């Protein structure tokens, strides 16, 4: 399970718009199209070292696709608990990679509760957010990579956030370096299009709050009215991500429109590819809003 560094690129149009250097950390170029591969690799290393043959996770889609793919590659059986409303494109991918999908009425929290019962009943390896520190540890490498890739110190790092696993992990990585940017959680508690982070479920809430507190960071709510133009602006930069990932840019625009201390440069995490989610992108484009 080899790990690869992802690119850090400067966004030209967005930097001009905001008036500071804005970089994108392109996590969507990971093997299954999201940062979740960072977590899956570390989690499966742990599961294998402990002799487990089966793993289980509750997910909004990306973690499940990733864990299923890496599990099949390692000869492990993977159970996925997801909302019955999981987008069909993502459920097909999970099944294609041999993941056994258990659909649950409700959202991520209900799927998580069912998955926890299942692992406890069957003695299966628990890969759930909030219950497995290996996920946070897997994401820590992202913070270390940014510190190595960026010469100037970033003032803020904007991160699409649901459970807070990713943000806590990146902060853990920065703490291994001299860089101490403010961590900004971009959240979408109410959304029709940012499915992967809908609800702001905070299953790693304690680690998330600690990272926000220590980094003097903040959580910023965005809505679909912010996320659609952000998704389109990223396309203009040559970045095709799912709408949940464009919340990092939407949150930057929110902060930029208020009195703030954006000393620059800043980094946006671009977490998941649009290619796993064509219907959502098609829906956005068919409404033909202006790209700025
Ligand atoms: C594309 C994408 N971005 C961001 C996140 C948020 O990560 P976390 O739940 O660790 O906060 C997720 C979580 O599923 C995701 O799928």
From the alpha carbon of 166, which atom of ligand 1 is closest? 10
pLDDT of the residue at 285: 87
* End-to-end Cα, the chain, rounded Å: 40
Token representation of residue 72: 């099949």
DSSP 275: G
Q: Using an 8 Å Cβ cutoff, are 249 and 218 in contact?
A: no
Of all protein residues, the one whose alpha carbon is nearest to atom 4 of ligand 1 is: 160
Is a pLDDT exceeding 70 seen at residue 3? no
Give this prediction's pTM.
Answer: 0.96
CB atoms within 10 A of CB 49: 8
Q: Which residue did the predictor score with more confidence, 242 or 262?
A: 242
- 74: Cα separation from own chain's centroid: 23
- Model pLDDT, residue 166: 98
> Is it the case that residue 276 has pLDDT exceeding 60?
yes
How many whole angstroms from 141 Cα to the centroid of ligand 1? 16
Structure tokens belonging to residue 147: 């510190």
Tell me which H or E stretch contains 255. Answer: helix 247-256
CB 78 within 8 A of CB 118: no
């Amino acid at each position: 399970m080899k790990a690869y560094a992802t690119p850090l690129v400067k966004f030209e149009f967005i930097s001009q718009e905001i008036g500071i250097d804005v970089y994108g950390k392109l996590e969507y170029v990971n093997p299954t199209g999201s940062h979740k591969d960072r977590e899956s690799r570390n989690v499966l290393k742990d599961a294998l070292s402990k002799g487990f043959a089966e793993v289980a996770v509750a997910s909004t889609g990306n973690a499940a696709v990733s864990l299923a793919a890496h599990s099949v590659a390692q000869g492990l059986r993977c159970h996925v608990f997801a909302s019955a409303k999981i987008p069909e494109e993502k459920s097909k991918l999970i099944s294609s990679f041999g993941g056994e999908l258990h659909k649950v009425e409700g959202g991520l929290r209900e799927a998580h509760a069912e998955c926890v019962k299942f692992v406890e009943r069957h003695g299966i390896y628990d890969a759930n957010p909030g219950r497995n520190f290996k996920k946070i540890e897997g994401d820590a490498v992202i913070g270390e990579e940014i510190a190595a890739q960026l010469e100037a110190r970033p003032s803020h790092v904007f991160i699409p956030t649901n459970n807070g696993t990713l943000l806590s992990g990146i902060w853990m990585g920065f703490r291994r370096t001299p860089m101490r940017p403010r961590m900004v959680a971009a959240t979408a508690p109410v959304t029709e299009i940012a499915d992967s982070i809908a609800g702001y479920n905070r299953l790693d809430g304690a680690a998330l709050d600690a990272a926000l507190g220590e980094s003097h960071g903040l959580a910023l709510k965005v809505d679909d009215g912010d996320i659609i133009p952000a998704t389109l602006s990223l396309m203009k930069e040559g970045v095709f991500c799912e709408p949940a990932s464009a919340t990092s840019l939407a949150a930057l625009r929110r902060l930029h429109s208020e009195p703030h201390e954006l000393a620059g440069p800043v980094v946006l995490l671009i977490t998941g590819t649009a290619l796993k989610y064509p219907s959502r992108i098609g829906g956005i484009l068919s409404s033909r809003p202006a790209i700025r």
